[in-house]
């Protein structure tokens, strides 16, 4: 370990450049750099690169339009916000309830439009099973909208004059 | 009366009430029959405001321009119990509920005039529905009877 400072170590050199090496390692590397021209060149090259990179980053940062960048970020955040419908669906507690409920409502609407809105779907108000009597004629009529049954008879044969009295 | 005597009396009264209630339940449904008598004619253009819903469709079928309310009657009948309503022109309508089938009341209607039977019919009237029986001449028009039933 006596001649340890003579060995080239690229990783240790990188840590030395970034001031990340320990005191012992830094001391060893300093002694090594006094005797190793290759490592001195490498270190100088790395320092140059580092300085140029910092300079480039600083230049770009100075040119950056932070206001426009902020506006773009805010706009992107707004685009990501849930819509009112997403709020509504989030409010419905469980889909197991909402789906059958929606189906039932839909079925109810279909029934309403088919059975209620369409007059022909209604049953007649009355069904006449039998009709007997000494009358001249009988008609069974049904109103078109509500299917109200009308039983119309002519009792002329059984009529008397008192019907005409006021 | 002592406390010992009161308890059996209360229990027996309660049992009697239960028995009566059960008996009335066994008697079947009660039918509320309504009869609205209307005189329709071609004299004038008077339509009784209370008849507006009834006449809305009738006006598209019949040529009558006037609908006057002559009377409303209501009878509540049990199964196979007969009731009668007096109608204009010495007419009487006898009504007998005979049963219930598929949300319809089975009714027997018999119309008499001067104690003579005019007709007899058996109808199935939808619950809370009605039938219009019409045709007999009266005064300057014809009589319409709207017979409704609810059970």
pLDDT in tens, A67-83: 888 888 888 877 776 66
Residue B19 inside a domain? The answer is no
Residue A160 inside a domain? The answer is yes
Neighbours of A156 (CB within 10 A): 12
Residue A84 inside a domain? The answer is no
Q: Mind telling me how many Å the CA of A121 is from chain B's nearest CA?
A: 15
Tell me whether strands B104-113 and B116-126 are parallel, antiparallel or unpaired: antiparallel
Total number of domains constituting chain B:
1
pLDDT band, residue A166 (cuts 50/70/90)? very low
Q: Provide the token pair at B13.
A: 């009264």
Residue A87 inside a domain? The answer is no
Residue B22 inside a domain? The answer is no
Chain A residues within an 8 Å CB radius of B57: 143-146, 148
Q: Closest partner residue to B121 among A131, A155, A158, by Cβ? A: A131
Domain residues for A126? 122-166
Query: What are residue A63's phi and psi, to 5 degrees?
Result: -80, -15
Q: Taking CB atoms and an 8 Å limit, are B123 and A128 in contact across chains?
A: yes
Comparison of pLDDT for A134 and B145, the residue scoring more: B145
ipTM: 0.81
Kindly state whether residues A98 and A134 are assigned to the same domain.
no
Is 50 exceeded by the pLDDT of residue A134? yes
Kindly state whether residues A64 and A27 are assigned to the same domain.
yes
Q: Taking CB atoms and an 8 Å limit, are B126 and A131 in contact across chains?
A: no
Residue B76 inside a domain? The answer is yes
Task: Report the largest interatomic distance among the alpha carbons of chain A, rounded to a whole angstrom.
Answer: 150
Q: Mind telling me how many Å the CA of A119 is from chain B's nearest CA?
A: 13
Could you report the per-residue pLDDT of B54-96, keeping only the tens digit for each? Answer: 888 888 889 999 999 999 999 999 999 999 999 999 999 999 9
H or E stretch at B69: strand B66-77
pLDDT (0 to 100) of residue B59: 86
Residue A83 inside a domain? The answer is no
Residue A12 inside a domain? The answer is yes
Q: Mind telling me how many Å the CA of A120 is from chain B's nearest CA?
A: 15
Stretch A142-164: mean pLDDT: 74
CA B136/CA B125 separation, integer angstroms:
22
Total number of domains constituting chain A:
3
Give the residue from chain B lying closest to A145, CA to CA. B57
Residue B14 inside a domain? The answer is no
Chain B residues within an 8 Å CB radius of A145: 57
Q: Mind telling me how many Å the CA of B24 is from chain A's nearest CA?
A: 28
Kindly state whether residues A45 and A100 are assigned to the same domain.
no
Comparison of pLDDT for B122 and A155, the residue scoring more: B122
Burial A62-74 (b: 16+ CB within 10 A, else e): eeeeeeeeeeeee
Kindly state whether residues A108 and A126 are assigned to the same domain.
no
Helix crossing, A23-35 with A10-17: angle to 10°?
110
Stretch A25-43: mean pLDDT: 90
Could you report the per-residue pLDDT of B112-135, keeping only the tens digit for each? Answer: 999 899 999 999 999 999 999 999
Give the residue from chain B lying closest to A134, CA to CA. B118
Kindly state whether residues A160 and A100 are assigned to the same domain.
no
Residue B9 inside a domain? The answer is no
Q: Provide the token pair at B76.
A: 């509540």
Stretch A151-164: mean pLDDT: 64
Q: Which residues of A touch B (CB under 8 A)?
A: 123-135, 138, 141, 143-146, 148-155, 158-160, 162-166
Residue A45 inside a domain? The answer is yes
Kindly state whether residues A137 and A164 are assigned to the same domain.
yes
What whole-number percentage of chain A has pLDDT above 70? 76
Domain residues for B48? 28-150
Kindly state whether residues A64 and A19 are assigned to the same domain.
yes
């Amino acid at each position: 370990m006596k001649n340890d400072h003579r060995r080239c170590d690229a990783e240790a050199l990188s840590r030395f450049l970034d001031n990340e090496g320990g005191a012992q390692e830094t001391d060893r590397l300093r002694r090594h750099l006094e005797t190793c021209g290759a490592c001195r060149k490498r270190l100088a090259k790395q320092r140059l690169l580092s300085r140029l990179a910092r300079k480039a980053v600083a230049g770009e940062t100075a040119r950056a339009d932070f206001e426009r960048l902020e506006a773009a970020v805010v706009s992107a955040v707004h685009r990501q916000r849930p819509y009112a419908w997403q709020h509504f669906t989030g409010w419905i507690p469980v889909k197991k309830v909402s789906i059958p409920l929606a189906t039932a409502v839909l079925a109810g609407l279909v029934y309403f439009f088919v059975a209620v809105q369409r007059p022909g779907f209604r049953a007649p108000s009355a069904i006449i099973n039998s009709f007997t009597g000494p009358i001249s004629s009988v008609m069974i009529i049904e109103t078109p909208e509500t299917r109200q049954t009308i039983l119309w008879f002519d009792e002329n044969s059984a009529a008397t004059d008192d019907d005409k009295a006021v | 009366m002592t406390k010992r005597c009161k308890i059996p009396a209360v229990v027996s009264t309660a049992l009697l009430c239960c028995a009566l209630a059960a008996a009335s339940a066994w008697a079947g449904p009660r039918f509320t029959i309504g009869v609205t008598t209307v005189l329709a004619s071609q004299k004038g253009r008077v339509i009784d405001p209370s008849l507006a819903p009834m006449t809305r469709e009738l006006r598209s079928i019949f040529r009558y321009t006037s609908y006057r309310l002559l009377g409303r009657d209501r009878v509540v009948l049990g199964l196979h119990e007969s009731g009668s309503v007096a109608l204009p022109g010495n007419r009487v309508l006898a009504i007998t509920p005979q049963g219930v089938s598929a949300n319809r009341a089975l009714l027997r209607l018999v119309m008499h005039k001067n104690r003579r039977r005019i007709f007899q019919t058996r109808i199935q009237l939808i619950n809370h529905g009605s039938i219009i029986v019409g045709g007999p001449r009266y005064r300057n028009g014809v009589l319409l009877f709207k017979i409704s039933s609810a059970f």
